[in-house]
Amino acid sequence: MGLVATAGHSFSVKNLKVPFEQSFVIDPAYASLKNSIYQYPFMPLAESTIAVNTLGMTRRFIELALEIVTKRQSKIGDAAYTIATERIHTAQQKINQLAELLYQWVHTS
């Protein structure tokens, strides 16, 4: 199973022997290439990857919410439309602020 547009997949394998040369240890000390990118700790890499995936899904959700509210403007009325779009734009601004903090953290890291 996986989330739409994330290429996330789950699978299991039974009774399979993986040759040693096809395996790896998640530890910078065992990296076969010595460039600094290969020395980066696994957990911050995994956490930042999950964070940017969540960020992308959140941004898409907000875009879709705005599309829905815009399509329903005539049904919900101008006052409700204005309130809804203001809240959506506020959410977008907050997400953008958090994204900037995330990008700064990753850059510093």
Domain membership flag for residue 11: no
Domain membership flag for residue 37: no
Q: What is the pLDDT of residues 41-94, one digit of tens each?
A: 888 988 999 999 999 999 999 999 999 999 999 999 999 999 999 999 999 999
- CA-closest candidate to residue 40, choices 23, 50, 25, 27: 27
Domain membership flag for residue 46: no
What is the maximal distance between C-alpha atoms in the chain? 65
Domain membership flag for residue 76: yes
Domain membership flag for residue 38: no
Contact 68, 80 (CB under 8 A): no
Q: What is the pTM of this model?
A: 0.69
Domain membership flag for residue 40: no
Q: What is the pLDDT of residues 17-41, one digit of tens each?
A: 989 989 888 888 888 888 888 888 8
Sequence-distant (6+) residues with CB within 8 A of 69 are 76, 81, 84, 85, 88
> Does the pLDDT of residue 1 top 50, yes or no?
no
Tokens representing residue 4 in the block: 């739409």
Our count of domains for the chain comes to 1
Domain membership flag for residue 108: yes
Contact 68, 85 (CB under 8 A): no
Host domain of residue 102: 51-109
